[in-house]
Structure 1
Amino acid sequence: MTLRLSNTLSGEREPFEPADPDDVLLYYCGLTVSDYAHLGHARSWVHVDVIHRWLEHLGYGVRHVENITDVNEKIVARVGEHTDGGALGDDEPGVAREFIRQLLADMRALNLERAEVYPRVSEHVPEIIDLIETLLEKGYAYESNGSVYFDVTEFPEYGKLSNQSIEDVESQGAEAERSEKRHPADFALWKAGGVSEAAVAEHRDDDREYGSHPSGETWESPWGEGRPGWHVECSAMSMTHLDESIDIHMGGRDLVFPHHENEIAQSEAATGEQFARYWLHADLFEMDDEKMSSSLDNFIPVGEAVERFGVNPLRMFFTSASYNSTQTYSESAIEEAIERWERLEAAYDRVVSAADSPDARTKVESPLRDAVEDARRSFTGAMNDDFNTREGLAALFDLAGAANRHLDGRDEYDYRGLRRTIETFEEFAEGVLGFDFEGSAEGDVTLAGELVELVLGLRESERKAGNYDRADDLRDDLEALGVEVQDTDRGPEYRL
């Protein structure tokens, strides 16, 4: 079955045909680092990760770029903010650095494949200026009071992604910009000066304590000192690290307009080439019927969620819904994801144990082999149907059920069927959906070791208090659980 994608640009489900039959150029609109990443960001990350993995599974080389927006008035607004650990940062780069540090740690904690590069706006200002100069030279942009704006009336296809006409588009940008623009829908490519006090005040929380008013970083340009606009950054970085035309551009549904619409306009005006062949949009992630976002202060940070629930249950939760469907966070949904992960993990562990046991026989045949092939076909069909992770998971759970039925009440096991089951779990559950069976097991062993150490510490306390019967009972309890305890001159030692 050919991979088919839901392309926002056409509104159709289309066969995937990259410009290069061997390599895919994938760009994902990353975070503005004005706060810690939350579960809404994690959901999109996981789905982009699965897309990356599936494309590689199909045999493509994947050049994956994800930007980091480290120049933004929201970041400036947090300069000098006081927290329990001190000030977030004394300037815009300092605040961005703190949030980038945690962002990269969160990515690693979620077991994401690394992108080829994570470009930052602050490192690409020369490329941004070059792009703006090209747009000015071609008549698609104009200067006004040291700022530069894109003229939407000069780009006839403006609105083709969001299906809007220019007449229906509301004015873009801050109030102070509107008098400088020729058309209300024109958008800033370059902003003169630093960040205004009004912009900082708009993004500051009255409940937080701050230092003095910051102005943000500025750069020299042909139009004077200033800062790049928001939309132009992604075009410049995508062209720098991928090409003038890419295969897949992905981001949140809330970015269709104006961000992605503006990316198309400025990119295609500058190059004369189609900017992206396929536009994929992750739908909203909600909490209590509201979009989860930093601005609404209704979010759960990624680091906290990984610590509370574990990476495998989180990936189970996110992949239980397709990337382009709305998903709602609730405690019950997380609990269900934990239970589903434990069920899948238990089936995998049981199959591995059976395959390694003397009861596995080479000449035993069973319906398990057919179940494996059915699961492989179903999983492949689901993933080729616009990366349908929900149906892909269903195929793996069908296989888990078939494996458990095969192992129940039997004296001999189908070794080849079990081996093929293991391969399928590792190829699809681990390799594509990004679960980590081995890492989970290591985590269980670590936790078990910590609990044993706790019990042994309690046992030593009882011995020192002269409660030898109680100490012996604790040792017997440990041994009944499979923990061998030996008292040595160095103290008690154990083996699981």
Structure 2
Amino acid sequence: MTLRVTNTLTGEKEPFEPQDPDSVLLYLCGLTVSDPAHLGHARAWVHTDVIHRWLDHEGYGVRHVENFTDVNEKIVARVGEDGSDEADVAEHYVADTLRDMRSLNLKRATVYPRVSEHVPEIIEMVETLIDKGYAYEANGSVYFDVTEYPEYGKLSNQDVEEMEAQGSDADRGEKRNPADFALWKAGGVDADEIAEHQHDEAAPAEEAAATAETWDSPWGEGRPGWHIECSAMSTTHLDDTIDIHVAGQDLVFPHNENEIAQSEAATGQQFANYWLHVRLLETAGEKMSSSLGNFATVENLVAEEGANVVRTFLLSTAYHNRATFSADTLDEARDRWDRLDRAYDRAVEAVDGVDARTKVTDEALREAVDSARTDATAAMNDDFNTRETLAILTDLAGAVNRHLDDRDAYDYRALRRAVEAFDEFGGDVLGLTFGDATADGDARLADEAIELVLDLREREREAGNYERADELRDELEALGVTVEDADDGPTFRR
């Protein structure tokens, strides 16, 4: 069965046809690292992870890029609370995000580019847009002229004449059209821009704003606009045209719309062939959001419930459908995971035991395994339908339990194939970890994630940021990881 995906660009469910029949270019708009990652962020991560896993399963090579936005006014707003300057705050939250990603058993992306590392590419793209007549400079800032790009609005199905103004009130006086958007912003960060995002523990707004990074450019000292960042990073690490671009539903406009306009204007190529948007996670009727304060952090929920329960919760709803986080929906996920895990453990114990026999046959179980494999393949090829795939595995768990409850001697072949089906579709595809106690409750960091934090700590020490290096060590020790410094570098033990 051919994989079909729901493409926001066309509004249709379409057959998926990558540019290269052997590989897929996959991009996810990543996190602005200014607050702890919450379950809404994890919803996009986990569904993108399953997209990656299914493409792997189907034999594609996957180049998966997910960025970190580490240049942003909200990051500056955390100065004094989570770091001494914008870069320090960003490093703090990048480390936390990598930890959270590993705790959820996500496959690693090919690269995790950061905005601060790609300013030269951003400037080059802005220069190209100016040269081609799609952008203009005004008082040291550069704006994209939406009237010069005839297809502007094609993703969000909006007309330029009816669009609301973009950017701050201060920008509008120097723009040709209210819908024009910034590619480059003159100067640094205004204290007023960050004051509304600050917590009580933050440094005074003027003091924090003074730590914001700026870069030289042909138009003067400044900072990149938000939208141009993803265009520069994706074209740098993937290509001018991406196969699949994933993002949260709230990014359709203006962010993704602006990505399309500036990328296609710069390269002359279609930016992304398939746009997949993950619907926002809701709680108590509102979207889960850092700004609303109605969130459950990834760190706390994984510690309390384990990665398997969290992933089961997130995958119990297809990525494009409405999902609600509540005590009831979490209970349902916990119960579903328990059913799957118990059935898997029972099947493994039975297939490895003395009562599994060569000549015992249970046609009902054999048919259940065959149906599960066929139906799960069809579900995943139907727009990565994780909800249906979990339901199919739950039905298989029931068939395994009925087989084990009804007899003293077991069908070895059927049980072995059931275990393989759980491992393949539950493990390899959905990313669940059967038979692993460390993935349940009080989850522990993977060694690779610890090494990443230690590398970050060493860079802080080399830069003379000893206070931040000590904070990273203390955070590891709070997670049960003891850091031991030696002449040839740090080591750790748990």
CA distance in 2, matches of 1:415, 1:202: 64
2:398 aligned with 1:380: no
* Among candidates 294, 300, 314, match of residue 298 of structure 1: 294
Alignment correspondent of 1:487? none
2:160 aligned with 1:163: no
CA distance in 2, matches of 1:384, 1:262: 30
| Unmatched segments (≥5 aa) in structure 1 | 82-87, 448-496
Cα displacement string for residues 164-221 of structure 1 (whole angstroms, at most 9, x for unaligned residues): 000111110011100010000000000000001211223224x444243423100000
* Conservation of the 8 A alpha-carbon contact between 2:28 and 2:66: yes
Give the counterpart letter for 1:187 in structure 2: F
* Among candidates 433, 436, 440, match of residue 436 of structure 1: 433
* Among candidates 224, 242, 258, match of residue 262 of structure 1: 258
2:421 aligned with 1:419: no
The alpha-carbon distance between structure 1 residues 251 and 444, as it changes in their structure 2 partners (threshold 3 A), is closer
Alignment correspondent of 2:38? 38
Alignment correspondent of 1:477? none
CA distance in 2, matches of 1:411, 1:402: 16
CA distance in 1, matches of 2:155, 2:352: 54
Alignment correspondent of 2:460? none
2:187 aligned with 1:190: no
2:400 aligned with 1:403: yes
CA distance in 1, matches of 2:334, 2:234: 37
* Among candidates 355, 360, 379, match of residue 356 of structure 2: 360
CA distance in 1, matches of 2:361, 2:325: 44
* Among candidates 188, 210, 216, match of residue 203 of structure 2: 210
The SS at the match of 2:185 is strand
Structure 1 residue 440: Cα displacement: 2.8
CA distance in 1, matches of 2:88, 2:320: 35
After superposition, where does 1:69-468 map in structure 2 within 5 Å?
Answer: 69-81=69-81, 88-205=82-199, 207-211=200-204, 212-215=207-210, 216-367=212-363, 368-440=365-437
The SS at the match of 1:231 is helix
Aligned length: 440
* Conservation of the 8 A alpha-carbon contact between 2:306 and 2:441: no
Structure 1 residue 442: Cα displacement: 7.8
The SS at the match of 2:436 is helix
* Conservation of the 8 A alpha-carbon contact between 2:307 and 2:440: no
Q: State which drifts further: 229-238 or 213-222.
A: 213-222
Cα displacement string for residues 68-97 of structure 1 (whole angstroms, at most 9, x for unaligned residues): 00000111111112xxxxxx1111000101
After superposition, where does 1:467-486 map in structure 2 within 5 Å?
Answer: none
CA distance in 2, matches of 1:429, 1:442: 14
Structure 1 residue 317: Cα displacement: 0.5
CA distance in 2, matches of 1:126, 1:69: 15
* Conservation of the 8 A alpha-carbon contact between 2:136 and 2:144: yes
Cα displacement string for residues 325-351 of structure 1 (whole angstroms, at most 9, x for unaligned residues): 111111121112111111100000001
Cα displacement string for residues 29-88 of structure 1 (whole angstroms, at most 9, x for unaligned residues): 00000111001001111110011000100110000000000000111111112xxxxxx1
| Unmatched segments (≥5 aa) in structure 2 | 445-494
Q: State which drifts further: 360-369 or 322-331.
A: 360-369
CA distance in 1, matches of 2:434, 2:64: 25
CA distance in 1, matches of 2:259, 2:194: 25
The alpha-carbon distance between structure 1 residues 442 and 351, as it changes in their structure 2 partners (threshold 3 A), is same
The SS at the match of 1:318 is helix
Structure 1 residue 445: Cα displacement: 13
- TM superposition score normalised by structure 1: 0.87
CA distance in 1, matches of 2:237, 2:441: 41
The runs of 4+ residues in structure 1 deviating greater than 4 Å are: 441-447
> Identity of paired residues, percent?
66
- TM superposition score normalised by structure 2: 0.87
CA distance in 2, matches of 1:153, 1:347: 59
* Conservation of the 8 A alpha-carbon contact between 2:67 and 2:230: yes
The alpha-carbon distance between structure 1 residues 346 and 441, as it changes in their structure 2 partners (threshold 3 A), is farther
Alignment correspondent of 1:84? none
CA distance in 2, matches of 1:156, 1:277: 18
